[in-house]
Amino acid sequence: MDLHELCRIFAATLNPDRNYRDAAESALYELSNNPSLPVILLQFATMGDSLGGAATPSIKLAAACRLRNVICKSDWNRVAYFTEEVKAQIKALIVPAVCSTQVEEAVRRQIASTMEYIVGYDYPKRWEGLVAQLQQLLGESIAAIESGSMEACVALRGGLQALRFCCKRYENVTLCTTDEIDGFAANFLPPLLQLCRRLTEIVSTVPTPSEYFSTGALGRRQSNVTEVYHCIRITWKCVWSLTDSRWPRCLCDVQAATCFFDLLLFSHQTVGGLIAAVDVNAVGRGGESEVSCVPLQQIAAWRLVKWLGKISSRCISTLGIAPRATEKRARAAANLLHDRYVAPLTQHALALVKWHDNGTTMINSKAFILALECLELAVSHQAAYVEHLLPSSEQLLTSLLFRRLRFSSEDAELWTTNPEEYVRKLTDPRGDLFNAKLLSMGFIVTLCHARKPYHSQELLMSFITFLLTKLAVLSQSLSQGSIEIAGPEYDGCLYAIAQMKKLFAHDHQVDDGKIEWLLLTYVTPLLSCPIGYLRAKAVYVLSLFSDIAWSAPGTYSNILQAVIPLLKDEELPVRIQTCVCLSRFIRTDAAREVMTPQIGAVVEQYFQIMRQMDNDGVVRTLRKTVSFYGDALSVWATDLCRMLVQHFLTVHEQLSSKQKDLDADMGDEEDEAIDSLLAADELMETLRTLVQAVPREESARATMQAMQETLAPLLTMIMSVRQGANLGFMDAALHLLTTVVSRSLAIAPSFWSIAALLFHVGLDASFMDYVEHLIAPIDNFLSVDPVGFLDYLCCTAPDGAHASCGEMVVHLCQAIITNGSSFHHLSTAPKLIDAVLLQTWSCGSTTPKAQWVCTQLLQQSLGVLSSRAATMPQTLQTLFADNILVGIFAAPTITVPLLESTGAPQFIMDSIVGLLQAPVVRSNLRVFDRKVVMMSFAALLNASASSATAQVLASSVASSPLLAQFAVEDARLMTNEVAYHQKRLSGKLDDSDDEHDEAWDNSSDDDEDTDVTGSDLDDDMDDEDVGSDVSEDGDIRNEAQFSTVLAQANKMRDAALGEDFDDGEENFLDDNDFETPLDDTNVWRVVGEAAAQTAFVSHDNTMTAVAEASRLFDTCVELRNAKHPATKAQ
């Protein structure tokens, strides 16, 4: 291929005329048919000859970029285009090309990047000679440097880059064994450390550090020194990779570890001395108090500082702080680091932190962050703390770090020009790992927290005194109009006070009275301050301390009265901060008298803010407001529901339009999408909270039906198969639907279409994992209106016919039985069948549709037991056996003939009775399982006079010990429950009884309030409402009130039985099932009455146990509804 022609083609790709560029791309596409093109591109980009000046550096760079793009698209071992010959030629040429002094720096970077991909593809199995090639190259370069040839540093740098790519493989423990990592480290770490020391010695002789750091043109010697610094940095990057997964065995020896830590300390001394000679003011652009380190990033020595900081931070955190916690083989090295090197390394980190702030100018850099991390770790090291941190603590707290807490010029610019981005940035849930303000505050808290005996007890009060003194001066300045000067520092003081809240409580040095004085003196007046960010900060600080014991009830009310108007503040960040923080203010009884008269206007302001910007914190406040003031807001429930649905649909539409971009690198677009997702999630939870606020009473029937009609479009959109699930709202929609139906006394006609959607989701094979989540809403539809569920034609069956929900249950259960890929999936079918049979029995429906549904479901259960029982766990068999037992009393005219038609009804019943006596089943039987056995037995007794089959089936139960066993076990459980209620009513519950209340406490909520003015460090969990979020809806209805008592009794029973069973078998008889019509049925009375009216004969002891169980059940029902006398008095 003619290189001159190739040169002209790449020159055309850089032409501003699009026609030329398009022609050049077409020519390159034609050339790509030649499999040798990658080799030619590599040779062209790295050739020394410039073809008479035609091949400019830009043209060569274009060729290098083309080569990189071709190779990095995918693993070249999976692309037929790359032949083995071509791959071998490229691997033979690329390392020398990276090491060549004739290759331009920009081209070298592209070639090095290409080499990184190739190393990832082929090393080590397909590039076995690479290590030997690098060892030879490094040896030659080191020898040349030792002889005084500094030009060899260019080749050394290329070889080190290749080695770095190899070393990165050993960071991933899934790709290689620990022996492989130790072996590679043993081969390369000693010579690398030796090389690093020699190179560091060379740069330590640089006579004029300040000249080296100048940003002007560098002389020849300085250029060589730059290459040396690059080599040192890449060497430390190799060391970083080889020490990433664990401390290498070759450095566990004390002598080797001493050499390593000595070198690390020597490197800090050398580079630290170089940096100390640089004037911080020279880095800025004249007069700036806050400057970026961007000018320094172009200097090789400065880039080395960051890597030294990373290595030091890792060594101190993994080895130096707690040597006894390290793995045994590295303990000697850890002790060495702890005893001899942590304190000196802390000294260098402290010097670097001080260098970043000379009192007038501050520099922000990653090196500062890493140095700060080292200092924070060193607080737990006695020598480092006593020798270096404590003597410098005053300077750190009152100057170096405090100055970084201020409202910065960057914050001010963003606040003014783009307030939405300001809020989004500071409420980003991913946080900012390199935020100097956050990490400085974190270090202040760590330094002031006296956790160890050698920690100073005075630092906290000293820092608080400093803040109060500062606030007094700044407050005076503000009152005199010095806003620009005093405002940022005032913000920093308030920020520090907010973040010190936990220390106030922990150290007990600042009581509530002092905090109240501070708030009233320095914070509350800022609510009317002309500076927006101070108003926002004041709201945040007041909200954090809103839970203190106020000296007068009116004080809190006055503060709240002053905060609420800020919902209409002229500046968006203030409005959002106020809205987010109100969730702390208003969820107390003291706030009710202020909030209740204006609750409607406050909620309207929430919606105004929500329309301006998606923020999950704002929606969370709305949810908590609805939860706490549900009684006041219930009259507006329908309107609130409509507004929430409209807002959700708006947010959802925005998300849908951005959905294609979510998988791409979108930057700010992605951040906005994440904000919208979080806000939409909170909106779904707020809707559910609103539904819970509506009382489940006859007076609210119309309200709930109106809310059903309002929610129908939202649920339809989300539950339309695939659309909602792609955005992650299906779970929230099912949760909301379950709550809505459970709180309703009737189903609106239009809402049956949502029930139909449940079945369409369940019948979609790709949504099989959702089936278990469909049971709760389906069961609630069935419970609220069983007649409509069984007879109302609202669905479309798989064959296209109109069908009722009951008929769709038949299709759904058949799909589960046929397509379920696991026993877990299969277990959902018998639960649905039980629900339909029990509700059919409860409502007494005998319509043809109901009879057909029951018949089909019972046939499905009997078919599973007949064909698949031998392969199923016994607890899963029991679920299907329950279907037959429920059918016997719920639909005896269907079930008994069905069993008779099998020709072996007694065998089936004997099998069920035997299954119930199996150890693994008996030890896990639920109250529900025992109830259905007793109800079916009573039904068989009642039918035995007219049916010989019923008589035979009844005899199977009567001849077993189940009746006596179940009566005794239920009596034991109910005795425990009676004892618990008697204690509760007498007020004698002790700490050991507290665990019985766990099942009733549904008010946990770990949401946090976020300070949009820069207080992301606050992790003080938001205290939840007292008595405000207690769920009354029984979404998945169960015997939750007594589940703890019953579980304990079951454990006691299991221990008494002493039965061995297979612990590895999954238990499908869980206690978290639904409320059923049997829950309030005294089955023992039913059995007793049936036995008395028939010829049933049993041992007197059995019937005595039955009678006692019946008596205890009635007692439990009475005690469950009884209240403590003190509660009644209220």
Tens of pLDDT, residues 450-489: 999 999 999 999 999 999 999 999 998 888 877 778 899 9
Residue 1081: predicted pLDDT? 92
- The pTM of this model reads 0.77
Cα 641 to the center of its chain, rounded Å: 28
Task: Report residue 374's pLDDT band, with 50, 70 and 90 as the boundaries.
Answer: very high
- 13 to each of 54, 94, 276, how far by Cα in Å? 14, 24, 47
- C-alpha separations of 608 from 328, 635, 644, 647, 1126 in Å: 61, 20, 12, 11, 44
Which helix (H) or strand (E) segment is 475 a member of? Answer: helix 459-479
- Segment among 37-46, 576-585, 693-702, 1065-1074 with least mean pLDDT: 1065-1074
How many residues are recorded in the chain? 1130
Non-local (6+) Cβ contacts of 743 within 8 A are 691, 692, 694, 696, 704, 1033
Q: What is the pLDDT of residue 743?
A: 92
**Percentages helix, strand, coil for the chain, rounded to the nearest 5?**
75, 0, 25
Largest CA distance in the chain: 117
Q: In the structure encoding, which two tokens stand for residue 626, read together?
A: 């609805």
The confidence score (pLDDT) of residue 115 equals 95
- pLDDT higher at 563 or 657: 563
Residue bearing the bigger pLDDT, 182 or 765: 182
Which of 114-118, 283-287, 814-818, 1092-1096 is predicted with the least confidence, judged by mean pLDDT? 283-287
CB 264 within 8 A of CB 315: yes
Q: What is the dihedral of CA 148, 151, 157, 163, to 10 degrees?
A: -60
Structure token digits, residue 283: 């880095």
The β-bridge partners of 291 are 363
Query: In whole angstroms, what is the distance from residue 998 CA to residue 1002 CA?
Result: 8
604's tokens: 């309207």
- The Cα-based distances of 1101 to 63, 935, 962, 1098, 1107 in angstroms read 96, 20, 13, 8, 10
Rounded CA separation 203/192 (Å): 17
Q: Which two tokens stand for residue 828?
A: 């959902």
Range with the lowest mean pLDDT among 340-344, 665-669, 834-838, 895-899? 665-669
Q: Compute the average pLDDT of residues 575-593.
A: 89
Sequential DSSP letters for 233-280: HHHHHHHHHHTSSS--GGGTSHHHHHHHHHHHHHHHHHHHHHHHTS-H
What average pLDDT score do residues 715-730 get? 72
Contact of 571 with 530, CB cutoff 8 Å: no
Amino acid at the residue 134? L
Annotate 66-77 with b (16+ C-beta within 10 A) or e (fewer).
bbbebbbeeebe
The Cβ of residue 923 has, within 10 Å, a number of other Cβ atoms equal to 18
The per-residue pLDDT for 761 is: 87
SS3 assignment, position 292: strand
- Residue 772 — very low, low, confident or very high, per pLDDT cuts 50/70/90? confident
Would you say the C-alpha torsion 238, 240, 245, 250 has a positive or negative sign? positive
Count CA atoms closer than 13 A to 352's CA, side-chain side: 30
Q: SS3 sequence, 603-636?
A: HHHHHHHHHHCCCHHHHHHHHHHHHHCHHHHHHH
Mean pLDDT of 98-118: 92
Bridge partners (DSSP) listed for residue 32: none
pLDDT score of 935 more than 80: yes
The string of pLDDT tens digits covering residues 527-583 is 999 999 999 999 999 999 998 889 887 899 999 999 999 999 999 999 999 998 998
Cβ-contact 676, 728 below 8 angstroms: no
Domain locations along the chain: 1-127, 419-423+436-567, 614-745, 747-872, 968-1129
Task: List the structure tokens of 712.
Answer: 């129908």
Report the alpha-carbon distance of residue 514 to residue 1 in Å, rounded: 84
Question: Cα–Cα distance between 227 and 140 in angstroms, integer?
Answer: 17
CB 850 within 8 A of CB 887: no
DSSP letter at 170 equals G
Calculate mean pLDDT across residues 896-912. Answer: 92
Task: Provide CB contacts within 8 A for 1100, sequence distance 6+.
Answer: none
> What percent of the chain shows pLDDT beyond 70?
86
Whether the per-residue pLDDT at 669 is higher than 70: the answer is no
Averaged pLDDT for residues 235-249 = 94
Query: How much is the average pLDDT of 696-706?
Result: 90
Token digits of residue 571? 């500046």
CA angle (986 as vertex; 981, 987 as ends), nearest 5: 95
Tell me the C-alpha to C-alpha distance, in Å, between residue 174 and each of 77, 163, 178, 243, 749: 21, 20, 10, 15, 57
Give 340's pLDDT tier (boundaries 50, 70, 90).
very high
Task: Provide the pairing of β-strand 362-364 with 290-292.
Answer: parallel
E strand or H helix that includes residue 1033:
none
CB 761 within 8 A of CB 774: yes
Instruction: Show the tokens assigned to 690.
Output: 């609103």
Contact present, 540 and 1013 (Cβ < 8 Å): yes
> Token match 């005053």: residue?
394
pLDDT in tens, 956-995: 998 889 989 999 999 999 999 999 888 888 877 665 554 4
Give the pLDDT mean for 824-840.
93
Name the residue type at position 1126. Answer: A
Q: How many beta carbons lie within 10 A of that of residue 918, not counting itself? A: 15
Most confident of 80-84, 213-217, 854-858: 854-858
Cα–Cα distance measured from residue 137 to residue 614, given in angstroms and rounded to the nearest whole number: 57
Q: In whole angstroms, give the CA distance from residue 806 to residue 637.
A: 31
| Residue 1009 scores a pLDDT above 70 | no
